[in-house]
Amino acid sequence: MKLIIFGASGGTGLEIVKQALKAGHIVTAFVRNPAKLPLNHANLTIKQGDVLDAEAVEKGIAGQEAVISALGPTRPPVPGTMETAARNIVAAMQKHGVRRLISTTGAGVRHPQDQPKLVDHLMKGLLTLLAGTVLRDSAANVAVIQASDLDWTIVRYPRLTNGPHLGKYRVGYVGKNSGSQLSRADGADFVLQELDKGEYIRQMPMVSY
């Protein structure tokens, strides 16, 4: 499958790129700084650009069959960055008739099917206190995608680690069949499994150990 990955040089994005290439996909990695993506593969194209540049995003998405967004907030966080990125990606996909979008975010972005426990409420309260701008922007990013007519899946993660690729994890909702951590490699594994199977279209599963 021909797919473009935004946020490809980040921890999770890089894992998605590696596993997508291993699975035989034709990958375009959209990055601001190509030097941060030290990969060389016959099926990999590295496209330099800023996700806040609507024209660059549109050109990257043209001709693709699917889009994966592993974007994270900038450091220091700039309010509205994630929301603007989602608007640019959605608009470009609609213009070029690309239907399938998988986007990742944190477990702090809630869904009506969640059944948060006390510890989940405490963690979200802490996130709101320490990273409220990031949490609000991430929620706005998700809202833009949800409002679209695309075949989207929002994959939510708990605390991510650099642990091994086990290929074993739980898929559920916050407080209901969910854990507190996941390796980036297994987070990438689920994204690519979902790309192939399409079991969670227009849903927001949480993936964890």
CA 86 – CA 144 distance, rounded (Å): 6
Phi (first) and psi of residue 134, to 5 degrees:
-65, -45
Is pTM beyond 0.75 here?
A: yes
- CA distance to 51, 169, 207, per residue, from 159 (Å): 24, 14, 11
CA 58 – CA 46 distance, rounded (Å): 15
Q: What is the CATH number of the domain that holds 133?
A: 3.40.50.720
69 has pLDDT over 70: yes
130 has pLDDT over 60: no
Question: How many structural domains compose the chain?
Answer: 1
Report the percent of the chain where pLDDT is more than 70.
93
The domain in which residue 39 lies consists of 2-208
Convert the pLDDT of each residue in 1-43 to its tens digit.
999 999 999 999 999 999 999 999 999 999 999 999 989 999 9
Residues 6+ apart with CB under 8 A from 186: 163, 165, 166, 167, 168, 169, 207, 209
Query: What confidence score (pLDDT) does residue 43 get?
Result: 98
At residue 46, the 3 state secondary structure works out as strand
For residue 10, give the H/E element and its range.
none
Convert the pLDDT of each residue in 155-176 to its tens digit.
999 999 999 999 999 999 988 7
Which parts of the chain fold into alpha helices (H)?
11-22, 54-61, 81-96, 118-146, 184-197
Query: What confidence score (pLDDT) does residue 5 get?
Result: 98
Convert the pLDDT of each residue in 71-126 to its tens digit.
988 777 788 999 999 999 999 999 999 999 999 999 889 788 777 776 666 667 66
On whether the CB atoms of residues 102 and 119 are closer than 8 A, the answer is no
C-alpha dihedral (81, 85, 86, 87), degrees to nearest 10: 100
